[in-house]
Chain A
Amino acid sequence: MAHTDHEHQLVHEHHEDHHGQKLYIIVGVILAIITFLEVAVALPEVKSFLGLSDTIVVVLLLLMMLAKGTLVVLYFMHLKFDSRFFALLFAFPLLLLAVPMVLIFMVLFSQHVGIAG
């Protein structure tokens, strides 16, 4: 019983693998395109040509960063197909501790009226 299950799993993985390779390359290409866009948007010439304000550029850059990071985590680190517990081990400290920590530190060290006042 266990033996056949195991074989089944192997075959299944083998099948998935061809699928996977193509997927990985597609993800890689998307990552390259986003990186190219990131650098382009950050160029002063492009910024002024498109008439983008600094704030919009920062927001765009952060969104693209988020997209890239998500792709790497979901596909390359297999989080999309792997245990939910792994997602918890990663997302909890990142989203609930590290990111808030960085933001709170930035607020605490700013000279913002009402905070430091």
Chain B
Amino acid sequence: MDLSYLQVLEREKVLEVLRRDKQLRTVEEDRIRRMKCELQDLRRRGAKNFARQYGERTCARCQRPLGKFWNSGAVCCGCSHRICRRCRVGAENWKCTVCHAYREVKIMSGEWFLEEKAKKFPLAKDKYETVGDMLLKIYSGLSHISVVPPTPPPNKDYQFMGRFGELKNSKSFTKSMEDVMVSFKCQIRESNSHNDVRVDFLQVDNSRNGGFFKSSNQKSLSDTNINKSSILFKVPSLPNLFKKSKDSDMEGSSTGAEDEASISSEHSGGQRSSISSISADCGHFDSVSVTGELELAMVYNSNALCLEVTVGACRNLTHGDGKRKKCNPYVKLYVLPDKSSKLKTSVKRNTTDPIYNEVVKYDIERHLLFGKRLQASVWHSGTLKRRVFLGEVLIPLDGWRYEDKSPQRFHWYPLCPKVRAENTFGKEPELMFGLLKV
């Protein structure tokens, strides 16, 4: 399809609509991606951890043992697994938690419709999605040539699209479009000036700004700065403070041991032993319970062949030093299972809501991301190099779409307790180091 039969202004107008649609779809894809990720997470929790467990009668979801006569569980009509009473949703026609979540995701993501649609259009299942994209791609160059009047900024857009030109109409139009326009004002401005919206870092700051988006790098919006990779590091709010193994002199001796520990946790993640109990054992650390969230954005840069992870911020962290109400948090990242990939953010002092805005790059080919997981853990850096674990998130990197083109989106991930099996604290380098120093 092409728009060549349309007049220039008509074409501009259509393209403007397509751009708005693309914004909307980007948000929607983001929402769906997050839902699917959560579902995946839920599924993973039900995975059997040890081969020997296969013979046992356990609930397929929570892994609690089931009795022969009492609390023997029942078979879920969705997945045919044996499920304990606690992991059921609904009364009569109950389903297990995963089957229930699966259905919910199908509804909420609109996947049911895609499946229905695929029955009729099996080959070009997503053609609809690409018609707009295709046109945008074809005409993106044309539409910015100066012969054509430049697309007006959003405020004028309202009136333009309000088609009757009345202030009243444009006002109510704004109201109806509030979710698209208001929150993406920055992005629209961005996409109007050049096609690549990826460099537009939007940040959600729910706790302080009541859910408004704020653009954290307005400076970079000029057309001269289109070079993506340079922007990442030029932008003042996103300094690349990461230096690979910057402090390896401090921790280098123990890195090997840590690797081993975490790899073992990879294979035996079932046993939950929180670091706090270990900390209590050795007496140097306060017990901390895990609270709060971590904000991350990920994108795969296919030009530079690297995964770029932006650590946005944390909020509601537990005080690493509970007695003195102190917290000096930093974030440590791995692309598991490769434990040589450690990168860390700077340490923020005396805050439980640190803001980092730091970019980490992992040089890795895209296809190698399959089966990998991003582990981001938050640590308190105490006196005498004591480290206190404040929580972590594990994000599967397969089945994830990191388009270069889409704007980098931040998500808040709830921090989880560590899923580790090791009990000897010698395996925990942070602790070991603390001990050595003391």
A binds B: no
- B interface residues (Cβ-Cβ under 8 A, vs A): none
- A interface residues (Cβ-Cβ under 8 A, vs B): none
